[in-house]
């Protein structure tokens, strides 16, 4: 009996001894190296940061803090910049006390303030205050009742540089982030990638393929899909059939009618001219250019994130807006806006069209690059939907069925025709606006009936038609008209 008790007591003693926490920058992290952010969801670099340097790469903020004295070990947010990071193999949670739960490692002696937000899904954000100084902690329990919920696991952290005139100059303006770690770390939470900015469905950058006549290798960088330029050929084919610049197209086609597509990109023209377009294939848009305008192009700034929004409504009216700071319908600064009205053929093409990004005539040659950060569209792929041609064919088939089988479609062909005329007249008058500006139905001397405003209540909703009916005789006071022609308003 004594032997058994001794063994049990040793087991209990061994089980209850806690593992020692790993220490980073004099801060203990119970979860060790897995406590730190694993991936970059998005990065919008602010102003006054020297481009092309190592500290413009947001991936430098991932993993445990490792700054010694290298530009490749931190990222500069820039004045007003925004960095969104994600925890994948752990999550941030509350601790139930007043100790810091989240720690932001910033390098450098300057006290640069940064707003901190946390989120469970990367869409809805909770402000948990401002950190200042080289390294700072945040007690998220302090914000319980103001968005934070005790025990909830948060997978996303957003840092926004607080602009300060005292630190607005130099090549590394804004907070310089080395790492972000969860002291109060919990098990990871399966989280789907959030829709782009929470308002539409993203098109994966990996689902874009290079255009056939471009040969400079496309690659994924920390900023997105990089399209480096080939040697300048003045936009003409070289001996191998390739042209300069670069371009990609989405592998899938999408229905852009009644939809809005968004794209975030930036272009480096190497201080020379190049011209390009970003948007749905078939949209009659003007091209943009860097450095200077040519043939009516509008000039875009070099090395600055640009936000393109293309919208096409059901009537064929289209708008293409290019903005800085954010999309024009999300508060961005409008740089250029195009608009117009599509033909029926153009609308048909846009109902099943890929999304394309391309540029050419790049005088800067191999020093040029276009970077595509994100693309999304508010409608889905059109491959499983009916095209307009298919819808028209089905409409015609349904129309013919009703002509051949009027009773099956609820069309009365008998009875008191005068009473029917009177009822139709009353319904037509009721449908006219109060101003009286309504074209009446007419019957000519051949008894052909023309109805300029007819509502067809079909299986896909109400359709406004202009219709003509041929008279097919009558017998015993019964008259029959058959639909001979129509067109949709």
Tens digit of pLDDT per residue, the chain (489 long)? 333 333 333 332 323 333 447 888 889 999 999 999 988 877 777 776 665 556 677 888 899 998 877 555 788 888 888 888 999 899 999 999 999 999 999 887 665 789 999 999 887 889 999 988 665 899 999 999 999 999 999 999 999 988 764 544 454 567 888 899 999 999 998 766 555 545 577 888 888 999 888 878 888 877 889 999 988 887 777 777 778 889 999 999 999 998 999 999 999 999 999 999 999 999 999 999 999 998 889 999 999 999 999 999 888 999 999 999 888 887 788 999 999 999 999 999 999 999 999 999 899 999 999 999 999 998 644 434 444 555 566 666 666 666 676 666 656 555 555 555 555 555 555 555 444 456 677 888 778 888 887 776 654 456 677 888 888 777 666 778 888 887 766
Say whether both 166 and 240 belong to one domain. no
Say whether both 482 and 425 belong to one domain. yes
- Inside any domain, residue 468: yes
- Inside any domain, residue 193: no
Say whether both 172 and 211 belong to one domain. no
Say whether both 173 and 247 belong to one domain. no
Say whether both 224 and 363 belong to one domain. yes
CATH number at residue 140: 2.60.120.260
**Plot region of 198 (φ>0 → left; ψ -120 to 50 → alpha; else → beta):** left
Burial class from Cβ neighbours inside 10 Å (0-12, 13-18, 19+) for residue 468 reads: middle
- Inside any domain, residue 254: yes
Say whether both 450 and 362 belong to one domain. no
Say whether both 411 and 269 belong to one domain. no
Give the whole-angstrom CA distance, residue 329 versus residue 324: 11
- Inside any domain, residue 195: no
* CB 326 within 8 Å of CB 307: yes
Q: Which domain holds residue 411?
A: 388-488
* CB 283 within 8 Å of CB 310: yes
Please count the structural domains in the chain: 3
- Inside any domain, residue 231: yes
| Report field, pTM of the whole predicted structure over 0.85 | no
- Inside any domain, residue 382: no
- Inside any domain, residue 408: yes
Last residue in a domain, options 343, 377, 411:
377
Say whether both 214 and 332 belong to one domain. yes
Last residue in a domain, options 377, 399, 434:
377
- Inside any domain, residue 331: yes
Say whether both 83 and 11 belong to one domain. yes
Say whether both 26 and 150 belong to one domain. yes
Say whether both 300 and 344 belong to one domain. yes
DSSP 18-67: PPPPEEETTEEETTGGGGB--EEEEEE--BSB-TTSGGG-GGGGSSS---
Say whether both 367 and 441 belong to one domain. no
CATH number at residue 275: 2.60.120.200
């Amino acid at each position: 009996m004594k032997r058994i008790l001794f063994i049990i007591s040793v087991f209990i003693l061994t089980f209850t001894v806690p593992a020692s926490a790993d220490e980073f920058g004099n801060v203990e992290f119970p979860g060790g190296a897995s406590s730190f952010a694993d991936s970059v969801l998005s990065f919008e670099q602010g102003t006054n940061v020297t481009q092309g340097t190592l500290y413009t790469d947001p991936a430098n903020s991932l993993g445990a803090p490792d700054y010694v004295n290298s530009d490749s070990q931190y990222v500069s947010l820039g004045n007003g910049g925004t960095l969104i990071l994600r925890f994948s193999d752990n999550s941030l949670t509350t601790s139930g006390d007043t100790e810091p739960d989240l720690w932001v490692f910033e390098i450098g002696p300057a006290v640069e303030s940064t707003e901190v937000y946390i989120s469970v899904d990367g869409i809805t954000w909770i402000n948990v205050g401002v950190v200042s100084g080289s390294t700072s902690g945040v007690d998220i329990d302090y914000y319980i009742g103001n968005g934070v919920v005790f025990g909830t696991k948060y997978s996303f952290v957003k840092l926004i540089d607080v602009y300060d005139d005292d630190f607005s100059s130099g090549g590394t303006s804004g907070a310089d982030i080395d790492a972000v770690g969860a002291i109060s770390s919990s098990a990871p939470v399966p989280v789907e990638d959030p829709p782009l900015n929470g308002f539409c469905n993203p098109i994966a950058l990996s689902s874009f393929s290079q255009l056939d006549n471009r040969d400079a290798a496309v690659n994924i960088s920390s900023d997105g899909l990089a399209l480096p330029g080939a040697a300048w050929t003045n936009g003409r084919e070289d001996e191998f059939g390739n042209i300069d610049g670069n371009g990609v197209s989405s592998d899938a086609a999408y229905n852009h009618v009644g939809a809005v597509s968004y794209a975030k990109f930036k272009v480096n023209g190497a201080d020379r001219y190049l011209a390009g377009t970003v948007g749905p294939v078939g949209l009659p848009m003007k091209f943009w250019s860097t450095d200077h305008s040519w043939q009516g192009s509008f000039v875009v700034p070099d090395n600055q994130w640009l936000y393109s929004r293309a919208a096409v409504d059901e009537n064929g009216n289209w708008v293409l807006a290019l903005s800085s700071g954010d999309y024009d319908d999300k508060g961005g600064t409008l740089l250029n806006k195009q608009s117009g009205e599509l033909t029926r053929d153009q609308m048909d093409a846009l109902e099943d069209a890929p999304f394309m990004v391309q540029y050419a005539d790049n005088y800067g040659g191999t020093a040029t690059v276009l970077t595509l950060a994100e693309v999304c569209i508010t409608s889905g792929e059109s491959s499983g939907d009916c095209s307009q041609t298919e819808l028209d064919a089905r409409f015609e088939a349904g129309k013919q069925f009703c002509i051949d089988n009027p009773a099956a479609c609820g069309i009365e062909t008998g009875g008191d025709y005068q009473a029917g005329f009177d009822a139709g007249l009353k319904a037509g008058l009721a449908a006219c606006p109060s101003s009286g500006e309504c074209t009446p139905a007419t019957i000519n001397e051949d008894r052909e009936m023309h109805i300029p405003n007819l509502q067809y209540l079909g299986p896909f909703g109400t359709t406004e038609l202009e219709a003509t009916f041929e008279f097919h005789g009558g017998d015993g006071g019964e008259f029959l008209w058959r639909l001979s022609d129509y067109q949709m308003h």
